[in-house]
Structure 1
Amino acid sequence: MPTRASEIRRLLESKRHQFNRADDQFQSLLQLYRDAFRQLARLPDSWIDGHLLDLPLSLDGSLWRFPERWPHREASLDWARSQIQGVTTFAVDGSQIYPSKDFSLPIALVQIAWFENPHELKQPYTKEIAVDLLAPADFQDLSPENFDRLVNMRRFQMETERLVQFLESHAGQPNCCALLDGSLVATFAEAFEAETQQVYIDCLVRLLRASENSRVPLIAYIDTSSAKDLAELLQDWFEELPEPRSLVDAQIVAQGLRWGDRTPLLRCRRSILKAYAEQSDRLAYCYLKTHDGNPVRIELPLWLVESGQHETVLNWLRAEVIAGGGYPYAIETADQAAVLRSDDRQLFYRLLQEWCDQEGLNLSLSRKLVSKLRRR
């Protein structure tokens, strides 16, 4: 029986006061943190030296204003072309087919795709894929509830390995940039056991080292960030601030940001970075306005700031976002190339069945899947 819309509306109406109270409390907390954020440039030099990497120049002391404004989209595209002409951008994304209960043995497929765009009329772009198969032996020491975790880890390894290859192969070349769709800080892995957590850390440290050693810029782009680095910094300094609770950095800095504006660059000091060896204090972040929603989080290796290249690289990113209509074009294109759709999954299952039959392997399939494969 379908859900009754009238019943849901009645329940919402009956709890309206709870929603109003929660919203009032959230808005009050948000305003306290926004007021504190505006005080960044007025904090003592000892605090600024330890955290802020570039002081803002705007009147309120908390934002870097993007100077360009365009009357129409064509003008923004002209600006984007002027910034990124001759700059090679590179992005990787991945997709996977997890082990299925329809098979008697765990088997998975991982696919990554990369997009390399030289932004030169006479030089074509490159779009390629690579695949890997995880066989039953790869899962033998794992319980079924951890199968998907192994597949995700292998995908992450493949994506970062390909980014490292790009960085190393373009060492010393000007006007190149690698884009990572996700964070350079492995906080997401803290819920895993130590061995798995270390795999993610090793991948990211290798990526940071490759960027610094090759002198090729690397940008991490996090469209919807739940990070609280800034909120926790503000609470540490302004002792009267209450706990941020569900409040995140992107909400604090959103007020007053126009397209292209950003916050100051800050040094990331999250606890997991202590495991990053010499890269433990070599990561910067800021928040950048790229669309109608909350600003996105940007992470950069610190060498880019030290070399003074960060604003040029951020303009490359702005140009990519303009080309992509609100999301970096290179990342968007890699994502579209990498995704495994329903037809791809059916093809994989059919090839797997045919190969097992040919090799005389005893791999049993559920009757439901056999029926689907026959019909399609």
Structure 2
Amino acid sequence: MPLDKASVAAALDANIETIRTYLEDDDDLVERYRAAFRDLPERGSAADLRDELSSFSYPGAMPIESFDQCDSIINHHHPSDEWKSHEAVNRWARDLLMDVPMLAADGSEIPPTTQFNVPLAYVQAAWCLNHHAPEGELERAREGRLLGPMDVTRAGGQNDDDEYRFVDNSLVGLHRYEHEAKVLINQIEELATAYELGDVDRPPIVLYDGPLVVSFANPRRPAVRNRYLEAVSQILAASQHHEIPVVGYVAGTNAIEIVKMTRLLLNEEFGSNRIIPDARVLTGMMSPWGDTTIPFLCRRDGSVDGLKTSYKGREYEFGEEIHFTYMKVPPGTGLDRLEFPGWLLEASAPGNYDDLYEYTLAMIRAEAGIGRGYPEVLQQADTDAVLDQQDRQQFLRLLQKWGEENNVPIEWDAKALSKELRRR
């Protein structure tokens, strides 16, 4: 049956005050946090604040040395003051990005085939490399992987060799994550080779669609959590080893690190109040286009300390290396979060940029401008990677045909077959 629109509308009307209260009752708290954010540079040096926070393992955020040179945690993007149209944004962005290679990757998946008597799944990663050349050079590719029964099921008992196994849909997401990481690392290595050989003139930039701090893996089983941590640690290690900037791009973030840090520093004032998202506070402190916060060190939770791996014979640890900044680009009032490794703050950059972080931030801001609020290269990777319902139906047909041609006894589940026949 179709959605009962009248019932949904009535339920929304019945809860209007609850929803309105949730959205409006923190206005006073937001203003108090904004005042506290404005006063942070006057509270002391980065070392002073870090000392105040030293008794907390995970205070959310930590100020870094650049904090001592600022009089505001907001960096205003002055070029945007002159813009009157999106065409002006485009002209500025395209000039800035000229000959800067920017790579992005994204993934998608087809869930296990519960329709058949054998569970199979498919994951796909797409990458897109925009050279931003005058002639418009764009490289794109997709790489897929079939997941067999042992990839998408796990033992029902305590031991992996138990005979009974059941389909675990979350394993497909894990395999997709690992596959996407491998594809991205391969492209980082190829970019590094091209840069070293002089085939690329300006430092390439890699955009990762999602966070580098994988707190979402914390509730998973330890073995699964560790595999998520290993995958992102390998990306970070490849980035540092080859000196290719990688940035985790999170659109519309609800992270709370700066608010949490401020609450700990001003416990008497905020200790009894609930924690609200950083973006809820910061957006009213920023101009409409391009402003960012100064970078902070991320100390969110134990998933940060779990970022460690070996790569090319060298050990890497990133517990004190993941930094973040917030960026405001229209449309909407939400903020995007950029997570990046700390070595970017110390590496030199071409042109008039103080370091590789400033260079990378400028280029990502420009890419978001061309994409009307979301980096265009990420949009392209997402479009190429997505597997829709039509792809899933085609996968089922290919699987069934393959079974028939190769005398593999793949059969429909009775319930699934009944649904399929009713929907035709």
**Normalised by the size of structure 1, how large is the TM-score?**
0.91
Q: How many residue pairs end up in the alignment?
A: 372
| Kept in 1: contact 2:153–2:166 (CA 8 A) | no
Identify which of 371, 378, 399 aligns with 1:324: 371
- Post-superposition Cα deviations, 1:6-28, rounded to whole Å, max 9, x if no partner, equal 74465246xx3x55654554222
Does residue 126 of structure 1 match 2:139?
yes
Task: Give me the whole-angstrom Cα distance separating, in 1, the residues matched to 2:146 and 2:9.
Answer: 49
CA 1:358–1:203: 2 relative to 1, 3 Å: same
Identify which of 397, 403, 418 aligns with 1:356: 403
Task: Give me the whole-angstrom Cα distance separating, in 1, the residues matched to 2:231 and 2:376.
Answer: 24
- Post-superposition Cα deviations, 1:271-296, rounded to whole Å, max 9, x if no partner, equal 32122242111111011001222111
CA 1:53–1:183: 2 relative to 1, 3 Å: farther
Task: Give me the whole-angstrom Cα distance separating, in 1, the residues matched to 2:87 and 2:417.
Answer: 50
CA RMSD, 1 decimal: 2.6
Does residue 290 of structure 1 match 2:329?
yes
Task: Give me the whole-angstrom Cα distance separating, in 2, the residues matched to 1:98 and 1:345.
Answer: 9
Task: Give me the whole-angstrom Cα distance separating, in 2, the residues matched to 1:175 and 1:125.
Answer: 17
| Kept in 1: contact 2:259–2:275 (CA 8 A) | no
Shift of 1:370: 7.9
CA 1:4–1:238: 2 relative to 1, 3 Å: same
| Kept in 2: contact 1:218–1:301 (CA 8 A) | yes
Task: Give me the whole-angstrom Cα distance separating, in 2, the residues matched to 1:23 and 1:125.
Answer: 43
3-state SS of paired residue (1:126): strand
3-state SS of paired residue (1:311): helix
Task: Give me the whole-angstrom Cα distance separating, in 1, the residues matched to 2:307 and 2:149.
Answer: 32
- Paired residues for 1:240-259 under 5 Å: 240=268, 241-242=270-271, 245=274, 247-258=276-287, 259=289
- Post-superposition Cα deviations, 1:295-337, rounded to whole Å, max 9, x if no partner, equal 1111111111122121211111111111111110011000001
Identify which of 289, 293, 296 aligns with 1:263: 293
Q: Which amino acid aligns with 2:276?
A: L
Identify which of 199, 208, 213 aligns with 2:236: 208
Shift of 1:3: 2.8
* Larger CA deviation: 81-90 vs 164-173: 164-173
Residue in structure 1 matched with residue 176 of structure 2 by the alignment: 155
Q: Which amino acid aligns with 1:242?
A: G
Shift of 1:359: 2.0
3-state SS of paired residue (2:127): strand
Task: Give me the whole-angstrom Cα distance separating, in 1, the residues matched to 2:418 and 2:399.
Answer: 12
Residue in structure 1 matched with residue 223 of structure 2 by the alignment: 195
Task: Give me the whole-angstrom Cα distance separating, in 1, the residues matched to 2:48 and 2:296.
Answer: 11
Shift of 1:237: 0.6
Does residue 111 of structure 1 match 2:161?
no
Residue in structure 1 matched with residue 36 of structure 2 by the alignment: 36
Shift of 1:202: 0.8
Shift of 1:169: 2.0
Does residue 303 of structure 1 match 2:314?
no
- Post-superposition Cα deviations, 1:72-106, rounded to whole Å, max 9, x if no partner, equal 22221111111110011101111111013312221
Residue in structure 2 matched with residue 68 of structure 1 by the alignment: 79
Shift of 1:224: 2.0
Shift of 1:5: 6.8
| Kept in 2: contact 1:346–1:373 (CA 8 A) | no
Residue in structure 1 matched with residue 385 of structure 2 by the alignment: 338
Residue in structure 1 matched with residue 113 of structure 2 by the alignment: 100
* Larger CA deviation: 104-113 vs 4-13: 4-13
CA 1:47–1:160: 2 relative to 1, 3 Å: farther
3-state SS of paired residue (2:391): helix
Task: Give me the whole-angstrom Cα distance separating, in 1, the residues matched to 2:122 and 2:223.
Answer: 22
3-state SS of paired residue (1:285): strand
3-state SS of paired residue (2:79): coil
Q: Which amino acid aligns with 1:249?
A: D
Identify which of 41, 47, 51 aligns with 2:63: 51
Task: Give me the whole-angstrom Cα distance separating, in 1, the residues matched to 2:137 and 2:421.
Answer: 38
**Normalised by the size of structure 2, how large is the TM-score?**
0.81
Q: Which amino acid aligns with 2:246?
A: L
Shift of 1:179: 0.2
Task: Give me the whole-angstrom Cα distance separating, in 1, the residues matched to 2:239 and 2:9.
Answer: 56
Calculate percent identity across the aligned residue pairs: 27
| Kept in 2: contact 1:265–1:284 (CA 8 A) | yes
Task: Give me the whole-angstrom Cα distance separating, in 2, the residues matched to 1:227 and 1:147.
Answer: 29
CA 1:102–1:54: 2 relative to 1, 3 Å: same
**Unmatched 5+ residue regions in structure 1?**
none
| Kept in 2: contact 1:57–1:63 (CA 8 A) | no
Residue in structure 2 matched with residue 234 of structure 1 by the alignment: 262
3-state SS of paired residue (1:68): helix
* Larger CA deviation: 182-191 vs 101-110: 101-110
* Larger CA deviation: 224-233 vs 269-278: 269-278
CA 1:373–1:175: 2 relative to 1, 3 Å: farther
Task: Give me the whole-angstrom Cα distance separating, in 2, the residues matched to 1:129 and 1:6.
Answer: 42
CA 1:11–1:299: 2 relative to 1, 3 Å: same
